[in-house]
Amino acid sequence: MSETHQSAAELAPWERDPVAPQWREAADDPVARALAERFGEAVASMRSLAGDLTLAVRREALREVCTALKEEHGFDLLVDLCGVDFPKRPERFEVVVHLYSFAANRRVRVKTAVGEEGAVPSLVPVFPAANWPEREAWDMFGIRFEGHPDLTRILLWEGFNGHPLRKDFPVEGIDTGAAIYPEYYDARQGPVAGAGTGWKPKPPAEPEKGDAAEEEEKK
């Protein structure tokens, strides 16, 4: 039988076409099932992709769910925490938490939604490493974390007006920067779409006549 007529099962693994993993409902996953039994409707959805579990939880239950994942299921490493902006959703932001279990060699992703006026429970009491990622999510998106010990900007300066990773943040920048260029900006100016930064350097001062004569002599 020629290779062109061989079934996929007969081919060597490296000769088979890759098969993309598909999202699956994870109600039968033991970790997901335990969390659903404990937290009920606070766990809104449970899905898996290539063995990695993704949970969507209500934000008021985020800290408790992550505590259970750490203390009861061995997901004791906070890999990352970040924000995502979906401007057309009623609650436009998602906070996404990535956890890892060394014992099970497995990852879990926990997502929760929050609006511009809402706040997400800080995970710093559970994972101290959440401190800086939460500050970055506040700095870049304006997502507030209730109970954070020091929710201040971490990349931009205090007084910067706006949050640059929001989808509605002007691509060309905004009129801000009063803290570093007070001679060009009013305090907390902007955002002004289409205005760019607005900053222009001062024109060079006209040299005095004496200075011009000295320059000519040097030439």
List the CATH number of the domain containing 86. 3.30.460.80
64 and 133, same structural domain?
yes
Query: Which tops the pLDDT comparison, 25 or 196?
Result: 25
Task: Decide if 58 is inside a domain.
Answer: yes
Q: Is residue 162 situated within a structural domain?
A: no
Task: Check whether residue 103 and residue 202 sit in a common domain.
Answer: no
Q: 25 is in which domain, residue-wise?
A: 3-156
Q: Please give the model's pTM, rounded to 2 decimal places.
A: 0.74
Torsion of CA 91, 92, 95, 96, to 10 degrees: 110
Q: By three-state DSSP, how is residue 43 classified? A: strand
115 and 189 within one domain:
no
Work out the pLDDT band at 183, boundaries 50, 70, 90: low
Mean pLDDT of 136-162: 89
Name residue, tokens 């970790």: 31
- Which is higher by pLDDT, 40 or 2? 40
Contact 94, 118 (CB under 8 A): no
Number of folded domains that form the chain: 2
* Residues ≥6 apart with Cβ < 8 Å to 28: none
Per residue in 202-214, pLDDT tens?
566 676 666 555 6
User: Which tokens belong to 158?
Assistant: 């205090």
Q: What is the pLDDT of residue 10?
A: 81
Question: How buried is residue 58: exposed, middle or buried, by Cβ count under 10 Å (0-12/13-18/19+)?
Answer: middle
Confidence of residue 219 (pLDDT cuts 50, 70, 90): low
Q: Does 165 reside within a domain?
A: no
In single-letter form, the type of residue at position 15 comes to E
**Domain co-membership, 191 together with 136:** no
Closest among 74, 71, 31, 35 to 52, alpha carbons compared: 31
